[in-house]
Structure 1
Amino acid sequence: MTDATKSPSAADSRDMADLLARAADGERITPEEALLLYTDAPFHALGEAADAHRRRRYPDNIVTYLIDRNINYTNVCVTACKFCAFYRAPKHAEGWSHDLDEVLRRCSEAVDLGATQVMLQGGHHPEYGVEYYEELFSAVKKAYPELVIHSIGPSEIDHMARVSNVDIDEAIRRIKVAGLDSIAGAGAEMLPERPRKALAPLKESGERWLEIMEQAHNQGLRSTATMMMGTGETAAERIEHLRMIRDVHDKTGGFRSFIPWTYQPENNKLKGRTQATVIEYLRLIAVARVFFNDIAHLQSSWLTTGKAAGQLSMHMGVDDLGSIMLEENVISSAGAKHRSRLSELIDLIRSADRIPAQRNTTYERLAVHWTPEDDPQDDRVRSHVSSIVDLPIVEKQAAQAEKKPVEK
């Protein structure tokens, strides 16, 4: 059969195989090609291409994890995002703010449990300007210089600058001097205009979010990039989100990792009308690995997708399984019930035929667990050991999620 008489399906199959081969080899692919891979590539072939890309970058077969704590200083917020179950409007009876002593107490607990990073995040409080964050970051850095402050995001920076009536560059410079080491990818949600306006009409645009990230990168702060999927966005909008991030990284080289996660449907205004499937998530993970050929790390979100999906993601190009979050309130408020102990997270990595290693914020490997004999043994290190609610309630919820009885 000549080329001229081959069926379109055969030609399409050949073109897809060529595209997958180029992606596996680390060649740069276009957004149009990324969309084609996301919607049409055979699932296993897509995963194999992404994993081949990972192996070329990390031939030692190591998958990393982090020990950190998310400390939320307030749930008072003026943005009223429709997917958020955590925030309360100003003057709401359930609104709260932690004082500095409470934040430092939680930092102390994190250090005691081996955390190397804290993520200080909260709502867009109408009274919290740059001065508030200067005091917060400087106090944490003075008390616990060993902790990396990987915190806030462009949305908070935009808000604090407006409250203090300063420009973005000044706000970034001042909080960096105060102790901010790294910027979280918080607030990205969906960057394209249509879904972003539907989700968070009071927030800055996706272009503004990226502009602030670019300004931070230009001041020497590096960051992560995130994406929330499953709120009714199209496949094309998901890929456009990736394209927007890659364009900024091309200019700054400032994103150290990409972390997609899935919308959680409880206790928020969207009420779970649309959600991403595990297969959609895994396909996005694989496409992200081959599309972001210059962003070093890809982290999956077992917190939102579950530990089984987290383990599968390691066969779709992931080189980082995220953290044992000693505290997490925002996503949990919307129904994320997944919990893990350090030993369990390490076992997920090892049973996926990968070598586990603890890392820090910049992905420096602090301890490589080459054999099971190297594994740390500390049952205190588990996700969500503390929260804004009473510890017994947290333990009860975790036990119910795992269908285990609560110890008396």
Structure 2
Amino acid sequence: MQWVWRQSEWREIIQKVESGRRLDETEALRLWQSGDLHMLGALADGVRARKVGNRATYIVNRYINYSNYCILSCRFCSFARKKRDADGFELTVEQIVAKAREALALGITELHIVGGLHPSLPFSYYLDMLRALKALDPRIQLKCFTAIEVLHLAWLARKSVEDTLMALREAGLDCLTGGGAEIFAPGVRQTIARGKESAEEWLEVHRTWHRMGGRSTCTMLYGHVETLADRVDHLRRLRELQDETGGFVAFIPLPYQPENNQLEVRHPPTGHDSLRTLAVSRLYLDNFDHLTAYWVGLGTKLAQVALSYGADDLHGTIVEEHIFHMAGARSPQHLPEAELVRVIREAGRIPVRRNTFYEPLEDAPRHLEHPATVPALAAASLNRQ
């Protein structure tokens, strides 16, 4: 239902937000139900401006999925395959290094690496992969693995989560990804991802990493079978962990993609819902500086609009994305840096290139005379698979 706000109620919320007082869960839910998207966006945009000014960031990065074989069968997932499936894949360490070498030639600063819970790859494979990539260039930042992957690797290594993370860090891991959070509500997780880690396990992996001095991002998959109250509960748990550790560098809401999976969703997220989700997240997650509009799921035009609804980051160049596109995403496989810069400038923001930890890089954006080189690389990578 939509909540019809009186002027006095908006004034109370505006005064609370502008004075830096924290919103509670009831207020967050009512904001989600508000029919006044423009007022909500203006309020969120004001918070964004106070936190980060007029800049919007992006990263020059490359995605690598080492395999889509997975022992789980999450109903919402279009990426996972079994060994019997003809379109399953598994990369060797040498193939991963080759992809990384090509991407480094284009000036990337980050490799973003995740995969399925592989049924037979040994723990040593993951350590060898990290070591080989760091040996290729020690400056490259390795943002790898979701919480469920870490739990899987701990089981493979027969180590505690902390010892597993220590081994991964020693091999070269710089940052954990925020994937796999989905929605924390137990009933929703049981419906969309039976057998996956619980909310408490997801949070504990990140808590452990943060206590070790590590940083990570966090996500929420929205627009499937969850309620708005479930979304508020999800944000509440993230905010509480951020209060405790301060280890999250950014929040990335992910719109559900409805194709090629077993989860029947009649009304996937609309652009209106995505903008509301970004705005409420900016207002409620007051202990997060950065909010990413994930252009792969939103599309570039809506992601551009999102920069006026609380978002201050557009993610990265990507180069080769499988997970969202196997679920029906219509966005490009990649965005050249020149295109990211253009999108940000058209939105009235100052484009700033960042690193994995959302820290601005000192070097200004490179002269981008040949933005077509990234599409060419992506096509070559896909052809080799």
TM-score over 0.5 for the pair: yes
* Cross-structure match for 1:347: 342
Rounded Cα–Cα distance in structure 2 between residues aligned with 1:384 and 1:217: 38
Q: Secondary structure at the match of 1:269?
A: coil
Identity %: 34
Alignment of 1:377 with 2:335, yes or no, is: no
* Cross-structure match for 2:140: 147
Structure 2 stretches of 5 or more lacking a match? none
Aligned residues of 2:57 and 2:315 also touching (Cα < 8 A): yes
Q: Secondary structure at the match of 1:321?
A: strand
Structure 1 pair 200/387, CA: closer, same or farther in 2 (3 Å)?
A: farther
Structure 1 pair 209/129, CA: closer, same or farther in 2 (3 Å)?
A: farther
Rounded Cα–Cα distance in structure 2 between residues aligned with 1:168 and 1:335: 34
* Cross-structure match for 2:353: 358
Query: For residues 58-207 of structure 1, what are the structure 2 equivalents within 5 Å?
Result: 58-59=52-53, 61-207=54-200
Report how far residue 47 of structure 1 moved: 0.8
Report how far residue 375 of structure 1 moved: 5.7
Report how far residue 284 of structure 1 moved: 0.9
* Cross-structure match for 1:31: 25
Structure 1 pair 184/387, CA: closer, same or farther in 2 (3 Å)?
A: farther
Aligned residues of 2:99 and 2:381 also touching (Cα < 8 A): no
Partner deviation per Cα, 1:20-57 (whole Å, 9 max, x = no partner): 33224432111221111111262111111111111111
Aligned residues of 2:143 and 2:175 also touching (Cα < 8 A): yes
Aligned residues of 1:20 and 1:45 also touching (Cα < 8 A): no
Q: How many equivalent pairs are there? A: 381
Alignment of 1:300 with 2:271, yes or no, is: no
Report how far residue 233 of structure 1 moved: 0.9
Rounded Cα–Cα distance in structure 2 between residues aligned with 1:222 and 1:43: 33
* Cross-structure match for 1:386: 378
Report how far residue 391 of structure 1 moved: 3.9
1:197 aligned partner, one-letter code: Q
Structure 1 pair 108/10, CA: closer, same or farther in 2 (3 Å)?
A: closer
Q: Decide which structure has the larger Cα Rg and report it.
A: 1
Match of 1:55 among 39, 49, 62: 49
Rounded Cα–Cα distance in structure 2 between residues aligned with 1:119 and 1:20: 38
Alignment of 1:329 with 2:326, yes or no, is: no
Rounded Cα–Cα distance in structure 2 between residues aligned with 1:35 and 1:242: 11
Structure 1 stretches of 5 or more lacking a match? 1-8, 394-408
* Cross-structure match for 1:397: none
Partner deviation per Cα, 1:308-333 (whole Å, 9 max, x = no partner): 21011011111111111111111111
Alignment of 1:275 with 2:268, yes or no, is: yes
Rounded Cα–Cα distance in structure 1 between residues aligned with 2:5 and 2:198: 41
Aligned residues of 2:217 and 2:252 also touching (Cα < 8 A): yes
> TM-score w.r.t. structure 2 length?
0.93
Report how far residue 164 of structure 1 moved: 2.3
Q: Secondary structure at the match of 2:220?
A: strand
Aligned residues of 2:4 and 2:35 also touching (Cα < 8 A): no
In angstroms, what is the RMSD of aligned CA positions? 2.3
1:286 aligned partner, one-letter code: A
> TM-score w.r.t. structure 1 length?
0.88
